[in-house]
Amino acid sequence: MPLNTPIRDWTGKRVWIIGASTGIGASLARVLLQAGSRLALSARRGELLQSMAAEFPAENVAVLPLDVTDGDALKSAWRTLRDRWGGCDLIVVMAGDYVPMSSFNLDQQAAEHLLRVKLHAPLQVLECVLPDLLAAGAGGLALVSSVAGYRGLPRSLVYGPGKAAVINLAESLYLEVRPRGLGVWLINPGFVATPLTAQNDFPMPCLITAEEAAREILRGFARGEFEIHFPKRFTRTLKLLRLLPYRLYFALVRRITQ
């Protein structure tokens, strides 16, 4: 049995993507619009959202620029969507940031910013939309984390723990709201070529494009999965590593990353 209701027909589906201006978010937006969805696009860079919206019929796209860490802006955007659409079928919390950080270059200010974007912002989204979704007994939320949240990794001193927290958040959320009729999806990408991962100065195994990532996400929705992870040839290996005892895990990761 699928853990969520499979979504195969996107025609007329009302989808709000928070973090839609670049990378996976932008590619997912284009794929969903081509599939017939009505889309609300949010991110800080409103000019990129407007440029994307211009590619599609105006009645299918709502542009709502905002900073995901701004709770008041989130609430205002949600009111706008409720007034315009009467609700929402899916909210994708895609917004993110990335700063490679290790114990040798820990920057407290940058660390706090990452955690605001990675963890505090999704919680603000939940606070904003959950009361209405629960009242309707319909709709769903997709939280984007990363395979970097599976276990500790070098140069991921803040990014990894933030992603691990989102994984735990999605699991807890699923257990609570799925019996009330809501869908919850956890999206865990591996390495995807985006402006954020372009900062990496190390080899990225099984790197895929943002367009490939968007297609993988739609396949996960169609199968009714809870966790949508990709590319499988990479993420399945990391899932096996999660099962190792610490002595073996630490030794293997050191060998791979040194």
Confidence of residue 201 (pLDDT cuts 50, 70, 90): low
68-78 pLDDT per residue, tens: 999 999 999 99
**Range of the structural domain that residue 239 is part of:** 14-257
Average pLDDT for residues 81-110, to the nearest whole number? Answer: 88
Residue in this structure with the two tokens 């809501």, named with its chain if needed: 182
Q: Which pLDDT score, from 0 to 100, does residue 176 have?
A: 98
Of all residues in the chain, the percent with pLDDT exceeding 70 is 98
29 has pLDDT over 80? yes
Confidence of residue 167 (pLDDT cuts 50, 70, 90): very high
Residue in this structure with the two tokens 């993110």, named with its chain if needed: 96
Nearest to 215 by CA among 228, 224, 226: 228
Backbone phi and psi for residue 20, each to the nearest 5 degrees, phi listed first: -105, 5
Q: 237 lies in a domain?
A: yes
Q: 105 lies in a domain?
A: yes
Q: Which residues are catalytic?
A: 159
Q: 58 lies in a domain?
A: yes
182 has pLDDT over 90? yes
Cis-peptide, bond into residue 100, ω within 30° of zero: no
Q: 9 lies in a domain?
A: no
216 has pLDDT over 70? yes
Residue in this structure with the two tokens 């949010």, named with its chain if needed: 42
Nearest to 163 by CA among 193, 198, 119: 119
d(CA 84, CA 78): 10
Q: 236 lies in a domain?
A: yes
1-21 pLDDT per residue, tens: 899 999 999 999 999 999 999
d(CA 217, CA 33): 14
Residue in this structure with the two tokens 């933030």, named with its chain if needed: 162
Backbone phi and psi for residue 44, each to the nearest 5 degrees, phi listed first: -75, -35
Q: 131 lies in a domain?
A: yes
d(CA 162, CA 76): 26
Confidence of residue 133 (pLDDT cuts 50, 70, 90): very high
Whole-number average pLDDT of the chain: 93
At 199, which CATH number?
A: 3.40.50.720
Q: 179 lies in a domain?
A: yes
Q: Which pLDDT score, from 0 to 100, does residue 198 have?
A: 66
Q: Are 10 and 32 in contact (CB under 8 A)?
A: yes
Confidence of residue 258 (pLDDT cuts 50, 70, 90): confident
Confidence of residue 139 (pLDDT cuts 50, 70, 90): very high
196 has pLDDT over 80? no
- Give the chain's domain count: 1
Q: Are 139 and 89 in contact (CB under 8 A)?
A: yes
Q: 193 lies in a domain?
A: yes
